[in-house]
């Protein structure tokens, strides 16, 4: 029989206690003891250690009809800060947050067109944010970078629309800042962001529709990325035989018909306009302009195929569609759902992303905080507002 020594058992119990305080705060020592089945003496000892480590705080007393009022415990969200970056194809966005993902700073910059300029620009960005950061006990706990491509073993292994293959992002930034740097596929971070801050289902499929289409999967509350990080490359499912040529080398990939990049190309050809933007499409759709209706119907048709494949392969509890079209017009989700004809489609919910463009950034914070605290599960709330409807010009 395998047994653990006292130090190992205490470390495991400490992790469980910290995770429970974070996900159930505010909570008293007595309720922790009942919830976890640990003795009051064990709880008191572990709690004191966590207080000494500046990871939890005593925040006041709970109401009770009898006896001494119990002291409530809460996660010390200001004990450190995290920086999460979304390295987009044209725009790079970044947030500096406390340990609960509450945004303290937000910055944007143009993504450098020349790959060798990316690391120096990221160093400048992080330095600027750290310089304005409040002083905390642990300081900067790490940097997360969302990659619009595939990552394997914390390195970029494939990108479709920008070249990062010869840049060692994590290593160079770690050497400069002396903190952990994590690279992860943007859709994976979106799935973690939705799971932590919005939808606390065990199994989540998050479909990101930007310049490409990608899928992030949370299974049994844990991120699933496959053998080498290639799980969830939904945009490369072939739906048209001998169809449009994709940058991956195949023809007929679904991303060539329903990504924002593909939709805007089709919309420009349909309207014979140049310099057309996604906002033009959204406004025209709101105004029931025929070309916009055609393009959105094309999006619904192919997105229905995406959702049907995800349901049949992974059978998640919830499918979150993170796309500017469905975020502004969530009623389109109902049209996609009504287009699912199969009697085998069993799931709880299809929903638009509440976090929208923030999901990648908050997912990055989730990774950093989990790694820093060495815990498996986080459940936070967000104060972010839903995206506003477009006003007619």
pLDDT digits (tens, 9 = 90+) for 246-270: 988 899 999 999 999 999 999 999 9
pLDDT of residue 390 exceeding 50: no
- 12: which 2 tokens? 């495991």
Q: Please tell me whether residues 155 and 108 are part of one structural domain.
A: yes
Q: What is the pLDDT of residue 188?
A: 96
Q: What is the pLDDT of residue 343?
A: 58
Reported pTM? 0.90
Considering the domain architecture, whether residues 19 and 152 belong to the same structural domain is answered as: no
pLDDT interval class at 385 (50, 70, 90):
very low
Is the domain of 150 the same as that of 35? no
Question: Which residues make Cβ contacts (< 8 Å) with residue 276, sequence separation at least 6?
Answer: 264, 267, 268
Integer angstrom CA distances of residue 314 from 197, 203, 217, 307, 379:
22, 9, 9, 10, 23
Instruction: State the pLDDT at residue 282.
Output: 96
Residues above pLDDT 70, as percent of the chain:
92
Please provide the DSSP assignment of 50-110 as one string. Answer: HHHTTSEEEEEE---SSSSPPEEEEE-GGG-EEEEEEE-SSEEEEEEEETT--EEEEEEEE
- The answer to whether residue 93 is domain-embedded is yes
DSSP H/E element including 158: strand 155-159
Residues 6+ apart with CB under 8 A from 301: 339
Specify if 390 maps to a domain. no
Task: Tell me: do 169 and 229 sit in the same domain.
Answer: no
Q: Domain for residue 377, yes or no?
A: no
Q: Are strands 181-185 and 71-75 parallel, antiparallel or unpaired?
A: unpaired
**Quick one: 132 and 35 in the same domain?**
no
> Using alpha carbons only, what angle is made at residue 57 by residues 384 and 132, rounded to the nearest 5 degrees?
55
Whether residues 110 and 140 share a domain: the answer is: yes
Average pLDDT over residues 372-378: 93
220 and 168, same domain (yes or no):
no
Q: Are residues 240 and 332 in the same domain?
A: yes
**Domain boundary residue, one of 75, 91, 112:** 75
| Length reported for the chain | 393
pLDDT > 70? residue 80? yes
User: Residue 385 domain-assigned?
Assistant: no
N-term to C-term CA, the chain: 72
pLDDT in tens, 310-345: 998 899 999 999 999 999 999 999 999 888 876 555
Quote the mean pLDDT of the chain: 90
Band of residue 70 on the pLDDT scale cut at 50, 70, 90: confident
CATH number of the domain residue 19 falls in: 1.10.10.10
Domain count, the chain: 3
Residue 30 lies in a domain: yes
3-state SS track over 311-336: HHHHCCCEEEEEEHHHHHCCHHHHHH
| 1, part of any domain | no
From CA 126, how far away is CA 174, in angstroms rounded?
12
Q: Is residue 315 part of a domain?
A: yes
Same domain for 344 and 211: yes
Handedness of CA 81, 385, 381, 371 (dihedral sign): negative
**Does one domain contain both 255 and 300?**
yes
Q: Are residues 184 and 211 in the same domain?
A: no
Q: What letter does residue 117 receive in the DSSP assignment?
A: G
Q: Determine the structural domain holding residue 279 and report its residue range.
A: 200-357
Same domain, 256 and 346: yes
Q: In this structure, what CATH number is given to the domain that contains residue 175?
A: 3.30.420.40
Closest CA to 234 of 305, 300, 184, 295: 305
- Interstrand relation of 181-185 and 140-147 (parallel, antiparallel or unpaired): parallel
Does residue 380 sit within a domain? no
The dihedral sign for the CA sequence 196, 16, 202, 148:
positive
Give the pLDDT confidence score for residue 230 in this predicted structure.
84
CA 165 – CA 180 distance, rounded (Å): 20
CA distance 89 to 147: 9
- pLDDT band of residue 6 (cuts 50, 70, 90) is confident
């Amino acid at each position: 029989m395998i047994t653990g020594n006292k130090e190992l058992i205490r470390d495991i119990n400490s992790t469980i206690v910290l995770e429970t305080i974070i996900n159930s705060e505010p909570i008293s020592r007595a309720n922790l003891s009942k919830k976890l089945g640990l003795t009051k003496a064990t709880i008191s000892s572990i709690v004191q250690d966590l207080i000494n480590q500046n990871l939890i705080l005593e925040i006041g007393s709970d109401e009770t009809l009898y006896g001494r009022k119990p002291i409530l415990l809460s996660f010390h969200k200001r004990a450190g800060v995290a920086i999460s970056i979304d390295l987009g194809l044209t725009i790079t966005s970044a947030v500096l947050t406390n340990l609960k993902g509450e945004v303290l700073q937000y910055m944007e910059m143009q993504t450098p067109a020349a790959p060798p300029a990316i690391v120096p620009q990221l160093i400048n960005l992080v330095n600027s944010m750290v310089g304005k950061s409040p002083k905390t006990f642990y300081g900067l706990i790490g940097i997360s970078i969302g990659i619009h491509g595939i990552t394997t073993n914390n390195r970029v292994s494939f990108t479709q629309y920008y070249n990062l293959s010869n840049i060692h992002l994590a290593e160079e930034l770690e050497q400069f800042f002396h903190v952990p740097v994590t690279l992860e596929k943007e859709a994976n971070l979106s799935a973690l962001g939705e799971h932590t801050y919005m939808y606390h289902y065990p199994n989540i499929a998050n479909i990101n529709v930007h310049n490409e289409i990608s899928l992030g999967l949370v299974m049994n509350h844990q991120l699933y990325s496959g053998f080498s990080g290639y799980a969830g490359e939904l945009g490369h499912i072939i739906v048209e035989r001998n169809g449009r040529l994709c940058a991956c080398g195949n023809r007929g990939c679904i991303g060539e018909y329903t990504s924002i990049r593909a939709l805007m190309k089709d919309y420009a050809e349909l309207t014979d306009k140049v310099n057309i933007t996604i906002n033009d499409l959204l406004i025209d759709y709101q105004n029931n302009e025929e070309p916009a209706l055609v393009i959105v119907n094309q999006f619904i048709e192919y997105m229905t195929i995406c959702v049907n494949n995800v349901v049949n392969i992974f059978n998640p509890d919830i499918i979150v569609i993170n796309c500017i079209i469905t975020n502004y017009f969530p009623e389109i989700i109902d049209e996609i759902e009504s287009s699912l004809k199969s009697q085998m489609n069993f799931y709880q919910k299809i929903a638009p992303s509440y976090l929208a463009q923030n999901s990648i950034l908050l997912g990055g914070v989730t990774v950093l905080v989990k790694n820093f605290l060495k815990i498996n599960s986080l459940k936070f709330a967000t104060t972010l507002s839903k995206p506003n409807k477009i006003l007619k010009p």
